[in-house]
Amino acid sequence: MNTKIIIPSVTVQKVLSRFNITDLECNQEGLEKIYQAWCRNIPFDNFWKRLDLAKTPFINKDQIDPTTFFEAWLEHGIGGTCWTTTNALQHLLVEIGFQSRIVGGSMGDMGMVNHGSLIVTTNDGQEFIVDSSISNETPIEVTPKTIDNSPHSIQLIDEDVKLSVLFEFPSKKDLMKCAIYNDTFSQKALHKSHLESYTHSLFNDCVYIKKNNELGINTIIGDTLYTKTKNEIKKVTLTKGEIHETLSSIMGFSNELIAHIEKTSLLNIPKESNLINLTR
Classify residue 266 by burial, with Cβ atoms within 10 Å: 0-12, 13-18, 19+.
middle
- State how far the alpha carbon of 11 is from the alpha carbons of 67, 96, 120, in Å: 7, 12, 21
- Which residues make beta-bridge pairs with 221? 208, 224
Give the whole-angstrom CA distance, residue 160 versus residue 38.
30
Q: How confident is the model over 85-108, as pLDDT tens digits?
A: 999 999 999 999 999 999 999 999
Give the whole-angstrom CA distance, residue 200 versus residue 209.
18
* Cβ atoms of 106 and 114 closer than 8 Å: yes
**Residue 70 corresponds to which amino acid?**
F
Q: What is the pTM of this model?
A: 0.96
Spatial CA neighbour of 131 closest among 122, 142, 123, 146: 142
Where residue 143 falls among pLDDT bands split at 50, 70, 90? confident
237 or 161, which is more confident: 237
| pLDDT at position 2 over 60 | no
First to last CA, the chain: 40
Chain centroid to CA 107: 13
Spatial CA neighbour of 175 closest among 206, 194, 154: 154
Write out the DSSP string of 24-42: --SSHHHHHHHHHHHHHHS
Architecture category of domain 9-279 in CATH: 2-Layer Sandwich (3.30)
pLDDT for the residue numbered 1: 39
